[in-house]
């Protein structure tokens, strides 16, 4: 079920069933100041990023679905960290749907802290770990969404951009293997980048502003059958 | 041009022209912590409410339009206050499009501070002042959007809800007189209220949470021809 | 001893004996920022709500009684939480008189967090738990006061108001079974509600302002034989 | 109308008419952190002292009276300061009823800062200034309440207590001359002092805790015909 | 060695030997914000009260003595608390000289928290505990200074003042039994009280200002043979 | 009246008359966080330095003198700054006694900011300005005290120490010319310096700790006839 | 005097004469939290950027030169802002040497706020304004240093990098016209960029970390004849 | 390899090999607010002192070396403290190069806290402990740098300066014994002190300002073969 997210026909039903619990896990892009230890509740418990936008758009257009969104992102995480907290932070929460967006820090540390090799997650470890987590979890959920990492840099020859693309290919491969919903967040940013100075969308080309988070929310929602008019 | 905002056909062009400046004025619902004295710039300059959602959705779906959104809401304002600052805060900014959402405090003060009569803006003053502002400004702009005030209370027999509905009728009448785009925010909330405990959308039934602001953003955008897929 | 609290004859003696220790337990309405772990001492140790008003009124009119008031309210509590801390927070303190006001969160969570079913305390659990606590404690104290939960919403057809009334009926039944002093806080609010916009008494219709807390203090005190002139 | 405040018969009507504006002026005992420049509005605008207790008790027992209470106390004030701000802080507010409690700092500075003679307001100046303010204002209001200053010191031979009693006699004389309601706050404290260590009611024997403020509120209210049961 | 502290002849040698360690223990009057867990070092490690004044006067007049002053006061302590921490806070520090000023809270709690009987240290317990501590420690030190508790209230008929005088008599008796240096702090305050409003020296008649702490420092120093000119 | 301050005979009367106002002016050593604009009142209004120690020692030993001490020191001041504020900060306060300690910054800026010549007050300007201020003020007061500047550096060959000594000689000369009380603060520090590492008394060899301020207070007091036993 | 800054021969004398005042003006890169209104003095008065490094390196290697460095950078400035404050912030300070680094914001606003055209300083205005300032000031100083703006982006095809290069060419042209010392800061960054992920040197590719500021300090110093060994 | 650090010939290769990890350990001069527990990472993780200047200068001139600098200084440490944490803070980090600058507190405590003998580290203990640490570590690293302690006091007859010189001699002896790079920081300061008031370089003559830290960084770098032009 690798979907071309921007050609969805309005009117198709939302893939996420009414009364589902949707857990979204990831790094700081997902976290955005969510409540700890469990990212749900009133106020800013879902953080200030794409997760809260997803929740608000679902709640506005599909209020009768009563979808329970839980944000389990943690700043600075790599896939190695996800594995460490997978039991308590994913399995124990019994999600109906699960989304995963990981990999930015796996790549970034190789560039911003090149001398700290103990912090680098090479692509082989990234792929094997992510495959292990997906394989362990798919039998337990109704739906799985795999989102690529991204780098808001239009120059595809940039070393870190090129690396991020390779990690994104791993995510695509895993989605194809497992039939998970695939969200190409890099493509979503590439579509708008011709119109923006990159730092406008994210001061460090990684942590998006509100528009950047909306790009992510829109990509995710389009992938799960969301329509503006319900 | 009173539009039934939820029956827009996707594919219609956005009413707001590329490179337009859109000024949005109102009370605390609009303000939401915007930058002062002029609500624009980087960071949270647009505040944390529907204005920043409108900006983010326009910027995501119509990045090439380069619409410049300016938030001129001020907490606690009634239409009487708008009149005092109309020259500096609207006219001098030379907007291409202008949206106005005012009236909540005009009504609310009659209920939460009933003994402070000097703070009450009765419906006659509300109508005449708003008509004056609209009349003065319409010749100067390309588009005008009039949004009703609202009260997130499902019981239409509630005294304050009933009063708010009467003020909303004034807005509708003015939109019809002038051909402005009309946004019925009360109806937008009424559509979702069967599914929510009111305080979930707004702790005091007035100041919305993220979902409540998304309801407002969606109503506004649908009224100006926004489509999820551009 | 179910008393009609507002027809007390002035001059009747105060039910609470001199030198008694009065422990008042409940949720955030009782808590109001009390000292932890034991809510007594100088300064604002009794919190800023009805407990401190009860203490101040008893201390003003009956200074010779030297009643020791202890506030054991805890924000967010349901009757399920009271049971967990009953031994340390009630029994170990050896109260002479005990008042209990619980149930608001038991009901509220069903409305403001409808998808979080693990936080809902249904009426059967509410009744059985409260009966257990009362039964266990009554033999140990000289006097017991049972106060209903309340919702500052005048519309009795409102779903949450109707539910709160049903929980209040449970409290009344338990008071009748045990001969405890019964305080109908909902009725106390209903008596003043014709004169107030609900949010004036409590911004979220639950957490009262000073006037709302005085309504509670007056209801409690009238139930235990307090007279303005001693 | 010098009333023996504690022998009021319940059932007598409240002296303050419905829809009256009651302005209460004084020093830090009145102020207690009120809103500036005008002490009224939501939240803690009335401060945390006897004024807010008076407001809450009136609002609880006489909700239909809709009395508008305004706190105009200012910390550190003597009668000399009241004179300086009388036009803006009393006359311009057009009160229906006015209460004045002043004199504590007039006396206190003579004891705690004995070498700063420029800060001392001697009894002759106190009497003539207070008489001038009362004379100027009585024709403009429906009711006037004169409250004595006090010192929470049981030893009447204490030099500062004896001085405070002399200033209180001035207030009594002015109430008798003008027919104002007279509130003997010193007597109200003397009635409870046999049961309290003075610093329990007020750490410095001047600034009361909640119980001490309730003593003041009860003295005031009993003087204006308040009854616990309405 | 019960000395009449104010008739010391200048020129007598200081009783405290060069290079001595002087530990001063007590309650909040001694503590005054000292460093924890051990009250010594640079900055305000000795607190802001009489201990730092004693240190500064010794250091100014007897700089060659190199006396090491350690402040071990703890706010809120009674003699019961001293006993609990005696081993670690006195014995383990191996003082050459030790001063003790305790008893204010032992008495005060009986007056400011009369209903909290578990916090009251009656005179029998006070005497027996203090005798035990003194007896245990005297063999280990070169010099012992016993300071009375005090209450800055000139009226000797005041109940708390009278009680404090009785506790002070216990200290005097113990000094006579053991030959310790006796410091009558109550007398030191009584000597200056004819010239001060009590709250000028200590806002609550217990916690002194700088002048009040100088009264204590002067009483202590005069007792150990200090002379202004060395 | 150049006194050898450390050979005062105890028993001589205090030079400062009862009920005098003593104004002490200077730089940050005098200031020490005093109240602004006038350094007097309760709490720490006199700052935390030698002025408050002088006040506390006078108040302890001579409580009946009721001397009113006012601290007019201002951090960073040179004699040039004193001249600018002399009318408002000295003359207008009508002191009975006046002390002046100035000159440290006049010298210091020449050493710590050698390239900022506009901040340097050379010795000629220092002498002429100080003579002018003294000459203008002496006829208006009962007593004048001139205190030298100081530098807590034992090495008299140090350039800044040598300069400070020259400025101190100017003060001595002016005291001799005018008969003012002369306080040699440098000598007071020199007397204790053999026993201290300089930074112990003042981290930067200028701003003293409590012991260093006591050295100053003792020098001042000995110069005006203070005796420890009154 | 366009110097190839990295081929300086050690041993050449420093161009800046002893006892010179060096004023460095610019935008936030220069500012870095300097003291206002004049950026000089102790502590962090010179800010935390290249100016303080220049000062520290000059002070370490040439301590006898006693060069007075003044930082007049102001965050957000364009050349348009420099012109507004040139009289007070440059001319009035009478510098011996002046360095100017401006232009980053002139370019950046065209990219990060493309719709705010009133904030854009086009290259014609940049060149004419900078030429005017240089022409006006050169006759007044002994030495002038012109530093290019920079963008820490290795991709020369990036639109903003290309624009910055064009503005840098203007600076070079002006240096050639006037004989000012020319510092090519862009080249200095280009030399190290092959070894760094750009965001490591400056999170937004503009505001450098300590290493990035050292790159600037080294470029400046090499241009004025600084040698590591003096 | 005791080098005369200021006669290095430019062009000699840097002693520290590419991709080395350089751990720098010491007291507060090294610490300067570094990240805990490990002093490395982005932002101010290296502190604000000479370590970050060393890192910035290496990173500027030798960007291709990719040297990983780790700051392990801890405020207040003596050599005794280094020994306690040597395993975790040095050995476990597997440094390629190690620098040690310790001894200031070992000496200082003998002067600023002369009565606290338990805090004094005498020269015998200093030498034996430092020799033990060096001996244990030298076999494990590629390079070792020993830096003397220092005291920014030009008067060599000053007692603490003289003591510091003796401790510095111990460091020199150990460098000679082991062939470690020797850095005479005291000499580096002595070279610039003729031009500075000591407190300008370090307010307490110990903790340097930016210029003082640059003196240290330059001394260290010159010792390891650094050249300004690479």
Tell me what pLDDT residue D11 has: 54
Ranges in chain F, pLDDT < 50: 1-10
Q: Which of C65, C96, C165, C207 is catalytic?
A: C207
Q: Which residues of E touch C (CB under 8 A)?
A: 112-116
Tell me what pLDDT residue B149 has: 98
Ranges in chain C, pLDDT < 70: 1-12
**In the structure, what pLDDT confidence band is assigned to residue D214 with cuts at 50, 70 and 90?**
very high
What's the pTM value of the predicted model, to 2 decimals? 0.89
- Distance (Å) from the alpha carbon of E190 to chain D's nearest alpha carbon: 15
H41 interaction partners in chain G (CB closer than 8 Å)? none
Neighbours of chain E (3+ CB pairs under 8 A): C, D, F, H
Does residue E20 have a pLDDT over 50? Answer: yes
Measured in residues, chain B has a length of 230
Does residue D39 have a pLDDT over 80? Answer: yes
Best residue in H210, H223, H224, H225 for a mutation probing chain G (most G CBs within 10 Å): H210
Half-sphere exposure of A146 (CA within 13 A, CB side): 29
User: What distance lies between CA H10 and its chain's CA centroid?
Assistant: 23
Residue (of H133, H209, H214, H226) closest to H178 by Cα position? H133
Average predicted confidence (pLDDT) for chain B: 94
Tell me what pLDDT residue A43 has: 86
Tell me what pLDDT residue F198 has: 93
- Distance (Å) from the alpha carbon of C93 to chain E's nearest alpha carbon: 12
Catalytic residues of D: 28, 204, 207
- Distance (Å) from the alpha carbon of B119 to chain G's nearest alpha carbon: 38
**H112: annotated active-site residue:** no
DSSP string, chain G: ----GGGPPTTSPPSSPTT-EEEEEESHHHHTT--SSSB-SSTTTT-SSHHHHHHHHHHHH-GGG--EEEE---TT--HHHHHHTHHHHTGGG--SEEEEE--HHHHHHHHHSTT-GGG---HHHHHHHHHHHHHHHGGG-SEEEEE------S-TTSHHHHHHHHHHHHHHHHHHHHT-EEE-HHHHHHHHGGGS-HHHHBTTSSSB-HHHHHHHHHHHHHHTT--TT-
- Convert the pLDDT of each residue in G159-208 to its tens digit: 999 999 999 999 999 999 999 999 999 999 999 999 999 989 999 999 99
Give percent above pLDDT 70 in chain E.
95
Interface contacts (C, D; CB < 8 Å) = 78
Q: Which residues of F touch G (CB under 8 A)?
A: 112-116
- Convert the pLDDT of each residue in D166-192 to its tens digit: 999 999 999 999 999 999 999 999 999
Tell me what pLDDT residue E152 has: 97
Tokens encoding G92:
């009035």
Whether C111 and B197 lie within 8 Å, measured CB to CB: yes
Tell me what pLDDT residue B4 has: 37
- Convert the pLDDT of each residue in A109-151 to its tens digit: 999 999 999 999 999 999 999 999 999 999 999 999 999 999 9
**Chain C CA closest to residue A21:** C115
Whether F228 and E57 lie within 8 Å, measured CB to CB: no
Kindly tell me whether chain D and chain G come into contact, counting contact as 3+ Cβ pairs under 8 Å.
no
Q: In angstroms, rounded to a whole number, what is the distance separating the alpha carbons of residues D60 and A175?
A: 64
Closest by Cβ to G59, choosing from H211, H226, H227: H211
**Chain G CA closest to residue H200:** G42
Does residue A164 have a pLDDT over 60? Answer: yes
Tell me what pLDDT residue B11 has: 53
**Chain A CA closest to residue H68:** A115
Domains and CATH numbers, chain E: 21-26+76-223 (3.40.50.1110)
- Distance (Å) from the alpha carbon of B105 to chain D's nearest alpha carbon: 14
Closest by Cβ to A197, choosing from G155, G160, G203: G160
Residues A180-209 have a mean pLDDT of 96
Burial of E11 (0-12, 13-18, 19+ CB in 10 A): exposed
Does residue D30 have a pLDDT over 90? Answer: yes
**In the structure, what pLDDT confidence band is assigned to residue B8 with cuts at 50, 70 and 90?**
very low
Whether C66 and E114 lie within 8 Å, measured CB to CB: yes
Average predicted confidence (pLDDT) for chain G: 94
**Chain E CA closest to residue F192:** E63
Whether E57 and F213 lie within 8 Å, measured CB to CB: no
Apex CA G168: angle with CA G164 and CA G174, to 5°?
150
Q: Which of C20, C27, C28, C99 is catalytic?
A: C28
Catalytic residues of E: 28, 204, 207
Q: In angstroms, rounded to a whole number, what is the distance separating the alpha carbons of residues E218 and F57?
A: 9
Give yes or no for a contact between E149 and E110, defined as CB atoms under 8 angstroms apart.
no
Whether B40 and G112 lie within 8 Å, measured CB to CB: no
Whether C210 and D53 lie within 8 Å, measured CB to CB: yes
Tell me what pLDDT residue H11 has: 54
Whether C40 and E112 lie within 8 Å, measured CB to CB: no
E43 interaction partners in chain F (CB closer than 8 Å)? 209
Kindly tell me whether chain G and chain E come into contact, counting contact as 3+ Cβ pairs under 8 Å.
no
Tell me what pLDDT residue A169 has: 98
Residues A35-61 have a mean pLDDT of 96
Whether E115 and C68 lie within 8 Å, measured CB to CB: yes
B214 interaction partners in chain A (CB closer than 8 Å)? 53, 56-57, 59-60
Whether G113 and B41 lie within 8 Å, measured CB to CB: yes
- Distance (Å) from the alpha carbon of F186 to chain D's nearest alpha carbon: 33
D197 interaction partners in chain E (CB closer than 8 Å)? 111-112, 114, 160
A42 interaction partners in chain C (CB closer than 8 Å)? 112-113
Give how far Cα B74 sits from Cα of B33, C199, D40, Å.
9, 22, 21
Does residue B7 have a pLDDT over 70? Answer: no
N- to C-terminal Cα separation, chain A: 21
Interacting residues of H169 by C-beta distance below 8 A, sequence separation 6+: none
Range of lowest pLDDT (C3-7, D76-80, G62-66, G116-120): C3-7
Residues B23-32 have a mean pLDDT of 98
Tokens encoding B154:
């499902």
- Distance (Å) from the alpha carbon of B110 to chain C's nearest alpha carbon: 9
Q: In angstroms, rounded to a whole number, what is the distance separating the alpha carbons of residues D97 and D91?
A: 11
**In the structure, what pLDDT confidence band is assigned to residue D34 with cuts at 50, 70 and 90?**
very high
Whether H199 and F158 lie within 8 Å, measured CB to CB: no
Whether F197 and H158 lie within 8 Å, measured CB to CB: no
Whether A112 and G205 lie within 8 Å, measured CB to CB: no
Range of lowest pLDDT (D178-187, E4-13, E98-107): E4-13
Residues A192-199 have a mean pLDDT of 94
Estimate the share of chain B in helix, then strand, then coil, as percent rounded to the nearest 5. 50, 10, 40
Q: Which residues of H touch A (CB under 8 A)?
A: 19, 21, 40-42, 66-68
Does residue E5 have a pLDDT over 90? Answer: no
- Distance (Å) from the alpha carbon of C219 to chain E's nearest alpha carbon: 25
CB neighbours of residue H179 within 10 Å: 11
**Chain F CA closest to residue H198:** F112
Q: In angstroms, rounded to a whole number, what is the distance separating the alpha carbons of residues E175 and E130?
A: 11
Interacting residues of F73 by C-beta distance below 8 A, sequence separation 6+: F24, F25, F26, F27, F28, F29, F30, F31, F32, F34, F39, F47, F49, F51
Tell me what pLDDT residue G166 has: 98
Q: In angstroms, rounded to a whole number, what is the distance separating the alpha carbons of residues D162 and D123?
A: 13
Residue D173 has phi, psi (to 5 degrees) of: -60, -45
Q: Which of H20, H27, H28, H106 is catalytic?
A: H28
Tell me what pLDDT residue C43 has: 86
Tell me what pLDDT residue G11 has: 54
Tell me what pLDDT residue A30 has: 98
Residues A56-81 have a mean pLDDT of 98
Beta bridge partners of D70: D23
Give percent above pLDDT 70 in chain B.
95
Catalytic residues of B: 28, 204, 207
Kindly tell me whether chain F and chain G come into contact, counting contact as 3+ Cβ pairs under 8 Å.
yes
Does residue B12 have a pLDDT over 90? Answer: no
Beta bridge partners of F70: F23
Whether D160 and E205 lie within 8 Å, measured CB to CB: no
CB neighbours of residue H87 within 10 Å: 10
Could you report the average pLDDT of every consecutive run of 10 residues in chain H (230 residues)? Answer: 39 89 98 97 94 98 97 98 98 98 97 93 98 98 98 95 98 97 98 94 95 98 95
- Distance (Å) from the alpha carbon of E115 to chain C's nearest alpha carbon: 6
CA B82, B85, B88, B92 dihedral sign is positive
CB neighbours of residue F207 within 10 Å: 17
Whether E19 and H113 lie within 8 Å, measured CB to CB: no
């Amino acid at each position: 079920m690798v979907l071309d997210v921007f050609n969805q026909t309005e009117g198709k039903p939302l893939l996420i069933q009414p009364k589902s619990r949707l857990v979204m896990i990831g790094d700081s892009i997902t976290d955005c100041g969510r409540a700890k230890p469990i990212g749900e509740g009133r106020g800013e418990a879902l953080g200030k990023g794409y997760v809260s936008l997803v929740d608000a758009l679902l709640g506005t257009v599909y209020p009768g679905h009563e979808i329970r969104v839980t944000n389990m992102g943690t700043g600075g995480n790599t896939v190695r960290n996800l594995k460490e907290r997978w039991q308590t932070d994913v399995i124990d929460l019994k999600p109906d749907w699960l989304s995963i967006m990981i990999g930015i820090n796996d790549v970034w540390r190789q560039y911003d802290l090149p001398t700290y090799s103990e912090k680098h997650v090479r692509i082989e470890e990234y792929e094997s770990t992510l495959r292990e987590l997906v394989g362990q979890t798919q039998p337990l959920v109704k739906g799985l969404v795999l989102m690529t990492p991204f780098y808001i840099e239009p120059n595809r020859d940039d070393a870190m951009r090129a690396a991020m693309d390779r990690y994104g290919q791993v995510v695509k491969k895993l989605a194809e293997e497992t039939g998970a919903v695939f969200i190409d967040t890099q493509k979503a940013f590439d579509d708008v980048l011709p119109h923006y100075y990159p730092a406008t969308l994210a001061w460090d080309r990684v942590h998006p502003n509100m528009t950047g988070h909306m790009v992510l929310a829109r990509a995710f929602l389009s992938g799960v059958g969301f329509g503006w008019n319900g």
